[in-house]
Amino acid sequence: MSTDAIVVLREEHKEIKRLFRRFEKAEKPAEKQKIVGQILEMLAVHTYIENEGLYPKVREMVPDIESDILESYEEHHVADLLCAELAEMDPDDERYTAKVTVLIESVEHHIDEEESSWFPDVREALGRKQLQEIGAEMIELRKTAPREPKMIAPRLVDRANAQVPGQRPAPAKVRSTRRPTRTRVVAAAHGARTTPRG
């Protein structure tokens, strides 16, 4: 088995796409749920080894494609959100298949961009030895990678109270943290009104 980082990732991309095709052919809810479980686990591991092993190194060694790397981080973030939501859903939910379809489309777009847009640039910029070192590190990271989606869905804001659920409400009036000046203390002691300074 090759430890070349790009070869490792291309093989994982093929396996992810195979799972996608299996889901698209599945008809029974239990079968769909089983395949989605495999997809979620594979994506959790895959995005982890890319985020921790490949992207930081490539960003440092091939600065010309930094914007592609930043976009890839964001695409992973979107996939993580969808995966976290799917992990909490049942296959009989009316939006389950639609959400998986959006996940598939998003991940396939991401894979296509990596493989056609910036993998060739990385291969050209880095030598074989560097790609093998990065790949070996990614294989090592896989051993400790999370197997479940990150639970990172943003908290919904309670629009009525404009606060995050579970958070203490903000005080009605915010008091100044400025210490009173000597003039204000003396004036207050004598009952005089003072004009607040800006």
Q: Which of 20, 41, 7 is nearest to 109 (CA)?
A: 20
HEC secondary structure over 11-66: HHHHHHHHHHHHHHHCCCHHHHHHHHHHHHHHHHHHHHHHHHHHHHHHHHHCHHHH
Q: Are 13 and 32 contacting, i.e. CB atoms less than 8 angstroms apart?
A: no
Q: Determine the CATH number of domain 5-144.
A: 1.20.120.520
Phi, psi of 158 (to 5 degrees): -75, 100
> What is the Cα gyration radius of the chain?
26
Q: How confident is the model over 13-35, as pLDDT tens digits?
A: 999 999 999 999 999 999 999 99
Instruction: Please state whether the predicted TM-score (pTM) of the whole model is above 0.85.
Output: no
| pLDDT at residue 1, as a whole number | 65
Q: Which of 17, 12, 7 is nearest to 122 (CA)?
A: 7
| pLDDT at residue 2, as a whole number | 80
Cα dist from 105 to 6, 9, 17, 195, whole Å: 22, 18, 11, 62
Cα dist from 30 to 35, 60, 75, 83, 171, whole Å: 9, 44, 28, 18, 49
Mean pLDDT, residues 66-77 taken together: 95
Share of the chain above pLDDT 90, in %: 72
